[in-house]
Structure 1
Amino acid sequence: MSAPVVAVALTPQVRTLFFDAAAWAALRRLGEVRLPGEDDIGDETALARLLADADVVVTGWGTAPLTARVLAAAPRLRLLAHTGASVKPFVTPASFARGVRVTQAGDAMAYAVGEQALALTLALLHRLHRFDHALRTGVDWATAKAAPPRRELRGATVGVVGASRTGRAYIGLVRALGARVLVVDPYLCDADAAALGIERVGLDDLLTRSLVVSLHAPVLPETTRMISARELALMPAGALLVNTARAALVDEAALLAELRTGRLDAALDVFDAEPLPVDHPIRALPNVLVTPHESAGTVQSRRRAAAIVCDEVDRFLRGEPLRHEVTVDLLDTTG
């Protein structure tokens, strides 16, 4: 019986980020590994060519979706293993109908995102972004020192929107540093809330009571633009917003208008338009700290993701239950 074929539909750059020598060796032990060469795996024709006799496909940024056309050219395909968290850009109704199973490595990224959200929180609390902006733009020393009041995390009330994997990582970190935590999440049960040591509240209550609001929810119909002008107005003057989750959770135009008043400060890792245009007005605001959608991009996070992918492929080929499978019903409740 021939060895299973594992097609790695990743660009050379992405392959290098995720798979070190040990991960490549682990993957090659599972079957015959196929690479796309110079082909653009964002092109359906190129992806179909790569998957012609593949049993498994490993996906990442820039991989084309499993459309009916791609699937027709890949009769043996049985598993999609994604190196990231959200699989929505890659799976289709046609792939689920064909019985292609799906797994992902979102667990690998949770701690890295939680840690960056903590770093952004601390930077905002201590107004590091404002000091940096002032000094880099030539403001005199005395004026640069005149930042709004700075606060400590210890004893502060932090509101977390979404007790997701990243949300729970962030909760653990800020609680360890002495924060009181409020959480809004309709899927969080009382037992889990008690175990996390947090208080469950409604969104309006969270916004009005929190010094820091950190977003960790998936993009669903009920969460899209959940933070708009009305919600931002509920936040007290001097409050801080951190978004390392998804841009779609926030009405960007409303946020920009609020930030222009100087009433709130924000740290943003995600934007409606990515790459963020060079002339985007949010780049020039002194009360905003921006990062280029890189909160999950630690070396350790990506190595963990590769290890999860290898383990899931191994389990699948052995006929064992997948640990991180995404089914149709779960797809509707994840970002």
Structure 2
Amino acid sequence: MKTLLAMPAGLPARMFDDAQLARLGELAEVDTDCAVADLTVAGDEELAAVEVLVTGWGSPRIDAAALARMPRLRAIVHTAGTVRFVVTEAVWERGDVLVTSATEANAVPVAEFTLAHILLAGKRSLAREARYRIDHRVRPGASVDPGIGNHGGVVGLIGASRIGTLVAEHLRPFALEVLVTDPFAGAERIADLGATKVEPEELYARSDVVSLHAPDAPSTRGMVSRELLALMRDGTTFLNTARPALVDLDALREELVSGRLSAVLDVHDDLADDDPLWDLANVALTPHIAGSQGNELHRLGEHALEEMRRLAQGEPPRFPVDPSRREVTA
């Protein structure tokens, strides 16, 4: 299979270790030392021979013009999650190009990050650490507060996405009640995860921790509204590892500044230097670290190698992107 690494220079070495690059070279006819970040500068003869594109973060968009120069293209193997920034409508309209995504692989570290912060939130870790730094001593009676702990608490997951599903599975061993709201997931499927399907209002009102795992789509923008945030009980923690556009930031900021809620925000639009969120003891701001980092990128590379193996051997892909669901998935 004539294959091209259509991605920024340097990304292949981060996505694949040496052994993985060697395996890629065995599976396909590919120059593993050459990555092409701009298809417009690639030669016509080279593109005309390409059967598979391996893409990732920062890859060029595959539009109609690019497709016209790749008549033999039959697959795009994406080494990251969403393909929205790479795959255009022209690809879907052509109809004969398989697209796969490493969304499943990238969900793993996000779910791990979420699980860690859910358990820390149960201990009211943010607020208690901040108080400890001020008092320099343990506050009498804090350990007997019935609202603290991970035995019998309630966790609300917004979205039974790949990540939301994996978080629910990770929560199974703990003595926590898990609620899920998702208009596209049935009650039976959610029950299979050990959780209970509820409407959004019930989830916000009952949960001790609310974690957002919905896709960024036109229908989800601003879905975490002022009205729903107001339903959350005092002391509840809100986690966002999804996308900032899903949240009414002004409303969330007001709740956080008041001290009524706490939050772990791994994704957020560029905040002004004087935004009060920077200085709030009840808010953890992390620089988009929940997704694959460092050696975790090799999991994405392994995912791509498996798809390449299946292509080479004529097997069906493991994680194809379903174009009929592109409006409701990340």
- 3-state SS of the aligned residue for 2:238? strand
Provide the C-alpha distance between the structure 2 equivalents of 1:283 and 1:332, rounded to a whole number of angstroms. Answer: 34
Pairing 1:290–2:303 present? no
- 3-state SS of the aligned residue for 2:179? strand
Identity %: 38
Provide the C-alpha distance between the structure 2 equivalents of 1:133 and 1:103, rounded to a whole number of angstroms. Answer: 44
- Kindly state the Cα deviation for residue 84 of structure 1 after the two structures are TM-superposed: 1.5
- Kindly state the Cα deviation for residue 332 of structure 1 after the two structures are TM-superposed: 2.0
Q: TM-score w.r.t. structure 1 length?
A: 0.87
- Kindly state the Cα deviation for residue 193 of structure 1 after the two structures are TM-superposed: 2.4
- 3-state SS of the aligned residue for 2:321? coil
Provide the C-alpha distance between the structure 2 equivalents of 1:60 and 1:106, rounded to a whole number of angstroms. Answer: 11
Q: Measured at CA, do residues 277 and 82 of structure 1 come closer, stay the same or move farther in structure 2, by a change above 3 Å?
A: farther
- 3-state SS of the aligned residue for 1:58? strand
- Kindly state the Cα deviation for residue 145 of structure 1 after the two structures are TM-superposed: 9.6
Match for residue 75 of structure 1? 71
- The one of 308, 322, 325 aligned to 1:313: 308
Query: Are the aligned partners of 2:113 and 2:290 in contact in 1 as well (CA < 8 Å)?
Result: yes
Question: AA paired with 1:45?
Answer: T
- The one of 75, 80, 84 aligned to 1:84: 80
- 3-state SS of the aligned residue for 1:7? strand
Question: AA paired with 2:113?
Answer: Q
Q: Measured at CA, do residues 116 and 51 of structure 1 come closer, stay the same or move farther in structure 2, by a change above 3 Å?
A: farther
- Kindly state the Cα deviation for residue 36 of structure 1 after the two structures are TM-superposed: 7.5
- Kindly state the Cα deviation for residue 117 of structure 1 after the two structures are TM-superposed: 0.4
Q: How does 1:87-236 map to 2 (within 5 A)?
A: 87-98=83-94, 99-130=96-127, 139=134, 141=136, 151-236=148-233
Match for residue 20 of structure 2? 23
- 3-state SS of the aligned residue for 1:293? coil
Provide the C-alpha distance between the structure 1 equivalents of 2:39 and 2:139, rounded to a whole number of angstroms. Answer: 52
- 3-state SS of the aligned residue for 2:27? coil
Q: What's the RMSD between the two structures over aligned residues? A: 2.8
Aligned length: 326
**Structure 2: stretches of 5+ with no match in the other structure:** none
- 3-state SS of the aligned residue for 1:181? strand
Query: Are the aligned partners of 2:155 and 2:177 in contact in 1 as well (CA < 8 Å)?
Result: yes
Query: Are the aligned partners of 2:7 and 2:57 in contact in 1 as well (CA < 8 Å)?
Result: yes
Provide the C-alpha distance between the structure 2 equivalents of 1:146 and 1:6, rounded to a whole number of angstroms. Answer: 64
Q: TM-score w.r.t. structure 2 length?
A: 0.88
Query: Are the aligned partners of 2:187 and 2:196 in contact in 1 as well (CA < 8 Å)?
Result: no
- Kindly state the Cα deviation for residue 223 of structure 1 after the two structures are TM-superposed: 1.9
Question: AA paired with 1:66?
Answer: I
- 3-state SS of the aligned residue for 1:102? strand
- 3-state SS of the aligned residue for 1:88? coil
Match for residue 64 of structure 1? 60
Query: Are the aligned partners of 2:211 and 2:238 in contact in 1 as well (CA < 8 Å)?
Result: yes
- Kindly state the Cα deviation for residue 267 of structure 1 after the two structures are TM-superposed: 0.5
